[in-house]
Amino acid sequence: MVAPARNIALLFPGQGSQHPGMGRSLAESSPAAGNILARAEAVLGGDFVRVLFEGPEEALKQTAVAQPAIYTVSAMAFAALVERSPDIMGRCACAAGHSLGEYSALHAGNVFDFNTGLKLVEYRGQFIRDCCDEIPGTMAAVVGVEKEALAGLCRESANGRGACEMVNFNSPGQIVVAGTREAVAALVEKASALPGARCVPLNVSGAFHSSLMAGAARKMAGVLQGASLRDAEFPVLTNADARPETGAEAFRKKLVSQIDHPVLWEDSVVNMTGMGAEIFIELGPGKVLAGLMRRIDRSKKCWAVGDGESLEAAAAALE
């Protein structure tokens, strides 16, 4: 019997993809997804499911709420896909998650069980929230400015205003910057004046993945030191260096560094294609990563699975 080709890459979204109602359709259409939701409810309480399904949106945007919510819905989508297409694990070449999504990718790779990951994500959200409260910051997406030129603008904007750093390299021509509110405002003004450039301030509560998150990284290191992690069943590309890893100890270190270091998403996708990935499946709320995939490599097939309908479409395409 010929083994199935390992040509599927699993993608997991990060904060910003949340929306009221996410997960409801998956729970209704998949017993496996419903089981994941019940486990989350047992840990986080019944109010968690109410906010997940009904909002309000402002409550769901809060970092300490959004992170366990997105992790839960991503795990639900993954469980539903495995239930619907049991051979998916044997066909998986690799996985990656954007920011928070790295925890979802590691759960899929069996580095830790759902409950362990949920507690880790809870801590992560709390530590990042505390850091944001202590050191207010913000972020902005910059389109149409080359990396070297943007690095120079960041240095100029940071002068006397605090940190201003490139933190998300999402796709060709799109880079996200983060830092103090004053520094990022100065960066937006400078970059917007360049021909062909466009800046979009992001509605976020802090300067994620910047040096301003160092306090959260230190606290997370202490939690991860006592966490039970296993080697992954397939390679997971990590945000901090876009390299495939399978070792538990490597993940323990890189989950710390990803908090206050840039997300190398474009490089991660390019490296996944180099590992033989031809089919990409985003698992979780929204279609942000599927959209980025089209900008990075339009030649690859990509599906986003976030509800019962999209689950059936992806599963049928994989048959």
Q: Which residues have a catalytic role annotated?
A: 99, 209
* 304 φ, ψ (degrees, to nearest 5): -110, 125
Question: b vs e for 167-190, b when ≥16 Cβ sit within 10 Å of the residue's Cβ?
Answer: bbbbbebbbbbbbbebbbbbbbeb
Order of strands across the sheet that contains 8-12: 244-245, 236-237, 92-97, 8-12, 279-283, 301-305
What values do phi and psi take at 34, rounded to 5?
-60, -35
In the sheet that 174-179 helps form, which strands lie side by side, from edge to edge? Answer: 164-171, 174-179, 138-143, 198-202
187 neighbors 154 (Cβ within 8 angstroms): yes
Q: Identify the CA nearest to 30 among candidates 282, 310, 288, 319.
A: 310
Instruction: Report how far residue 275's alpha carbon sits from residue 278's, in angstroms, rounded to the nearest whole number.
Output: 9
